Amino acid sequence: MHIPDGYLSPATCATLFAAATPFWYVAGQRIKKTLNMRMVPLLSVFAAFSFIIMMFNLPLPGGTTGHATGVAIAAIVLGPWGSMIAVSVALVIQAVFFGDGGILAIGANCFNMAIVGSLVAHWVYQGIAGKSPLIASRRVIAAALAGYLSINVAAFITAVEFGIQPLLFTDAAGTPLYAPYGLNIAIPAMMAGHLTIAGLAELIVTAGVVAYLQRNDVALLAFNAPVATSTSNVGGWNGSRRLWLIIAALMVLTPLGLLAAGTAWGEWSATDLVSGTGTTPTLAQAPTGLARLADIWSAPLADYNLPFVANEQFGYILSAMVGIGTIILVFVLVGIISERLRKRNSAT
Amino acid sequence: MGGEAHHGKKRGNFVQRTIDALAEAMERSLYAEQLASSRGILQNLDPRIKLIGTLLLIATAASAHTITVVIALAVVTFGLALLSRISLRTLSPIWIGMFVFSGMIGLPALFLVPGPILATIPWLGWHISATGLRSAAFLILRSEISITLSFIMITTTLWTHVLKSLRSFGIPTLIVVILSMTYRYIFLMLQSASDMFEARQSRVIGKLPDNEARRLAAATVGVLLSKSFQLSNDVFMAMQSRGFRGEVYILDEFTLRRNDYIAIPVILLICGVGFWFNYITA
Amino acid sequence: MDAVFTVQNVNYAYSTTSDLALNDISLTITQGSRVAIMGANGSGKSTLLRILDGLYFPQSGSVTAFDHPLDEAHLMDEAYAHAFRRRVAFVFQNPDVQLFNPTVFDEVAFGPLQLRWDKPTIIKKVAETLDLLEISHLRDRAPHRLSGGEKKRVAIASVLVLDPEVILLDEPTAALDPKSQSRVVDFLVDWGAGKKTVVVATHDLDTVPDIADDAYIFKQGKIVAHDTPRNLLANHQLLLDANLVHAHHHYHDDGKPHSHPHLHFGHAHDHQ
């Protein structure tokens, strides 16, 4: 899922880099406050750890193999902010040193995996684990789901980024300049692999590690447990409100920025893309399950027809925005609910 | 010994495959360090120029929207690869790997992207479109250019110099120090991960059942996690003991040489021409 | 003689639930003395060194360094911390922990940079220190690529560059080949010409008479003996009790079994 260069337009890369920046900033500030002087060695060593985890190949049921990203483990042990930085550093070294993921795409990869992945993993884990004892089996289930969902949400966002490329960036003849497939292909293709193999790998490793730590090194699980943070961390929702405002602004601005960049780029010809003469026979070759999924995703877009939308392009962008927006909304809701629960628990 | 034959078998052996992956990472960085300290035209350039040049060339390739510009940049990249003294035996796996990856993703585009029909595959009746072919070429060439350029940069530049260049571009010291320490501790942890797997390997005869392999992987990750925590505490004390108080101070100094003054206009010219083509063909 | 460190009734535990790592320890280390802290793994000798270096702080009891209290509050003060860090150096047992910089030069320059020395002084002092330890040729190498002996010398250089008055060493000869071991020992014997203070925690008994003139034996967080190294090493029963030696059981030519305490003189040995 490390996006190489050439798959996303420079405008998309720049936008995602810009989107990642406020998270890095807030993460840096928070970690400085909580870890103080320990920040440098702790994050360095954990970044090295995340790097190593991505090299483990593990066998999955059904004869395939997959590797986990370790994002959920980092988020569970370090908390979302520490995890964001540690995983970002690991991704930078992977891109620069080992060619895993593009150089221009560093911002995109960090946004998808390090930032969104860490937040999803953190909320899912804390939401399900609640105030259960550190050795409760509930925490293993929470970890499993955190691993599975975080990697899949990250994959979904990546797929959306891929899927909007052909709508925004084509040359005069209608040639897609970057990832060539629309949302109707990109999303099912990406999710098929992640809902199964990659998701499973992450699930197994995350749950396995939490189970291992419960038996052998519980202190590590306590490092970021709400029981421990309830006294020191009063921030919660209020503390991050500013960040959410930034996200909301980004949510609105991102697609607009993409649009501006896209129209400036090439002559857009909507008819080229929609005239499906060449595609219909080949799509039928795809597995029926995929085709059905593809239908679901393209359905709301097909008859998208608002008076102010001149071409289909806007429809796609809006749908991408709605997609991203929905995810963020879910995050926010989960965040608020878990915060409420935590407060109620700590009040009693 | 009966077990010996099984050890050689890589397929399906998760422990061996992971050991191989870890060893490869170590070898590759060692090779990079050796090559970076050897003499050559690219090795002698100022690291800051290489870093900016790499970034500019990749950005030019990414921004180009005529295939000719991308092909021209691919030729330039190939020329740089020859100049870099990196052996083709080292480069070819990288090229092939990326070709297979991008090819697999780009291939369906030949049929899926609508446009003027170039050819039709007999029997299947699938149409290859000119636009589809071009878009696949864009994808493959761009990803190859980028990975080659970044590989050339990192193998002809000492990692410490890359870090110091980052400093001179205004990247905060804190980030540079974290990057450098991460890189350094990756090796320590590669070694301990490798040792753990090898210790396990020596006790296993034949293939590990899948569920055992998964448990082993999770346990190894767990052990590494505990070790990381311990390690970070110890490193923190070692830093404190030498006066570290949260802020890091480092030394950096670079001077431009004659080659650098030649390299700057060359890079700017290549990128300028690339962008100019975008403009006139738009 | 002036006291460099005065430790009084110190107790230290790693967590509220664990046993005491140090149990009512009192000792004084005078200026210019060379002290060996001997003990098996887990005897508390490493913990003591870390307390002397202001890295751990005792739960009860007091530590003074150079006639000032050594505690967390004092070390928060930058001027105090800088002065203390310059005067007291610590060589960790595991060089991988201590060597975290990208090159040997950066490693040795790290301490002076944190203490905000000016650049020309740093460059000059680093070059001198590399010369002193005969590692100038390693200047631009990555520390993690060096051999065990080279790593140890870089680790020593990285603290000596500050020109400390006291050097604390945790198992300086552990896991080294015999040649590197004797290099480290020779260096310690020569260093400071009787003015500098050396505190070595070790279970490598054969080096102790060379590097120390005063010695303690620790067992389970307590001091069980304090004497000259010669006297302590002559007391086999004491060494056996402190798990510093193990009974050596072997057969002589006549076929009769024979047991005696085993001292590891003359060869490298790492007890783990």
B182 touches chain C (CB under 8 A): no
Give the pLDDT band (50/70/90) at residue B143: very high
Q: Do B225 and A220 touch (CB under 8 A)?
A: yes
Tell me the per-residue pLDDT of C85-128, one tens digit each, with 9 for 90 and over: 999 999 999 888 889 888 899 999 999 998 889 989 999 999 99
pLDDT greater at residue B257 or residue B168 = B168
| Residue span of the structural domain in which C110 resides | 3-262
Q: Do B14 and A57 touch (CB under 8 A)?
A: yes
Whether the predicted model's global pTM rises above the 0.80 cut: no
Nearest to C97 among B234, B249, B251 (CB): B234
What pLDDT, on a 0 to 100 scale, did the predictor assign at position B188? 85
DSSP notation for chain C: --EEEEEEEEEEESSTTSPEEEEEEEEEEETT-EEEEEE-TTSSHHHHHHHHTTSS--SEEEEEETTEE-SHHHHHSHHHHHHHHHHEEEE-S-HHHH--SSSHHHHHHHHHHHTT--HHHHHHHHHHHHHHTT-GGGTTS-GGGS-HHHHHHHHHHHHHTT--SEEEEESTTTT--HHHHHHHHHHHHHGGGGSSEEEEEES-GGGHHHH-SEEEEEETTEEEEEE-HHHHHH-HHHHHHTTSSEEEEEE-TTS-EEEEEE--TTS-----
Q: Is residue C20 part of a domain?
A: yes
Q: Is residue C268 part of a domain?
A: no
Q: Does residue B241 register a pLDDT over 60?
A: yes
What pLDDT, on a 0 to 100 scale, did the predictor assign at position A280? 29
What angle, rounded to 10 degrees, do the helices at B14-37 and A80-98 form?
Answer: 60
The share of chain A scoring above pLDDT 70, in percent, equals: 62
What pLDDT, on a 0 to 100 scale, did the predictor assign at position A295? 37
Rounded to the nearest angstrom, the minimum Cα separation between A348 and chain B is: 33
What pLDDT, on a 0 to 100 scale, did the predictor assign at position A86? 92
CA-nearest residue to C113 within chain B is B249
CA-nearest residue to A7 within chain B is B139
Q: Does residue A307 register a pLDDT over 60?
A: no
Chain A CB contacts of B244 under 8 Å are 37, 40
b/e per residue A132-150 (b: at least 16 CB within 10 A): bebeeeebbbbbbbbbbbb
Q: Does residue A75 register a pLDDT over 50?
A: yes
Q: Do A180 and B139 touch (CB under 8 A)?
A: yes
Nearest to C55 among B184, B237, B251 (CB): B237
**Matching residue, tokens 């190939």:** B78
Rounded to the nearest angstrom, the minimum Cα separation between C89 and chain B is: 7
Nearest to B179 among A92, A177, A204 (CB): A92
Give the pLDDT band (50/70/90) at residue A239: very low
Q: Which ranges constitute the DSSP H helices of chain A?
A: 10-35, 39-53, 71-78, 80-98, 106-109, 118-129, 137-163, 165-168, 183-193, 199-216, 218-222, 226-232, 236-239, 241-265, 270-274, 279-283, 288-302, 312-347
C-alpha C178: how far from its chain's center? 18
Return the half-sphere exposure (C-beta side, CA atoms, 13 A cut-off) of residue C233.
Answer: 21
What pLDDT, on a 0 to 100 scale, did the predictor assign at position C257? 56
Extents of the domains making up chain A: 10-347
Encoding tokens for residue A241? 């409100």
Which listed CATH number (1.10.1760.20, 1.20.1440.230, 3.30.465.10, 3.40.250.10) goes with A10-347?
A: 1.10.1760.20
What pLDDT, on a 0 to 100 scale, did the predictor assign at position A336? 61
Q: Do B241 and C90 touch (CB under 8 A)?
A: yes
Q: Do B243 and C115 touch (CB under 8 A)?
A: yes
Q: Do B188 and A48 touch (CB under 8 A)?
A: yes
What pLDDT, on a 0 to 100 scale, did the predictor assign at position B217? 81
What is the mean predicted confidence (pLDDT) over B23-41?
77
Q: Do B251 and C122 touch (CB under 8 A)?
A: yes
Complex ipTM tops 0.95: no
pLDDT greater at residue B9 or residue A223 = A223
Distance CA(B75)–CA(A102), nearest Å, equals 19
C6 forms beta bridges with C28, C64
Chain B CB contacts of A139 under 8 Å are none
Chain B CB contacts of A93 under 8 Å are 179, 182-183, 186
Q: Does residue A303 register a pLDDT over 60?
A: no
Coil, helix or strand at residue B186: helix
Task: Give yes or no for a contact between C16 and C68, defined as CB atoms under 8 angstroms apart.
Answer: no
Chains that touch C (3 or more CB pairs under 8 A): B
What pLDDT, on a 0 to 100 scale, did the predictor assign at position B224? 87
Q: Does residue A147 register a pLDDT over 80?
A: yes
**Torsion A284-A287-A289-A290 (CA) sign:** negative
What pLDDT, on a 0 to 100 scale, did the predictor assign at position A12? 92
Beta pairing, strands C34-39 & C214-219: parallel
CA-nearest residue to C143 within chain B is B184
CB pairs under 8 A between B and C: 86
Q: Do B242 and C159 touch (CB under 8 A)?
A: yes
Tell me the per-residue pLDDT of A155-168, one tens digit each, with 9 for 90 and over: 999 999 999 998 88
Rounded to the nearest angstrom, the minimum Cα separation between B168 and chain C is: 17
Tell me the per-residue pLDDT of A310-343, one tens digit each, with 9 for 90 and over: 344 444 454 555 555 555 555 556 666 666 666 6
Encoding tokens for residue C128? 């001198």
Residue A16, Cβ density class (10 Å: 0-12 exposed, 13-18 middle, ≥19 buried):
buried
What pLDDT, on a 0 to 100 scale, did the predictor assign at position A228? 40
Extents of the domains making up chain B: 1-37+172-244, 40-157+255-275
What pLDDT, on a 0 to 100 scale, did the predictor assign at position B232? 86
What is the mean predicted confidence (pLDDT) over B231-245?
88
pLDDT greater at residue B231 or residue A315 = B231
> Residue ranges of chain C with pLDDT lower than 50?
264-272
Q: Does residue A287 register a pLDDT over 50?
A: no
Q: Do B184 and C109 touch (CB under 8 A)?
A: no
Mean pLDDT, all residues of chain B: 81
Chain B contact probe: residue of A5, A15, A218, A263 with most B CBs at under 10 A: A5
Distance CA(C34)–CA(C54), nearest Å, equals 20
What is the mean predicted confidence (pLDDT) over A187-201?
84
Beta pairing, strands C20-30 & C3-13: antiparallel
Chain C contact probe: residue of B173, B241, B244 with most C CBs at under 10 A: B241
Q: Does residue A264 register a pLDDT over 60?
A: no
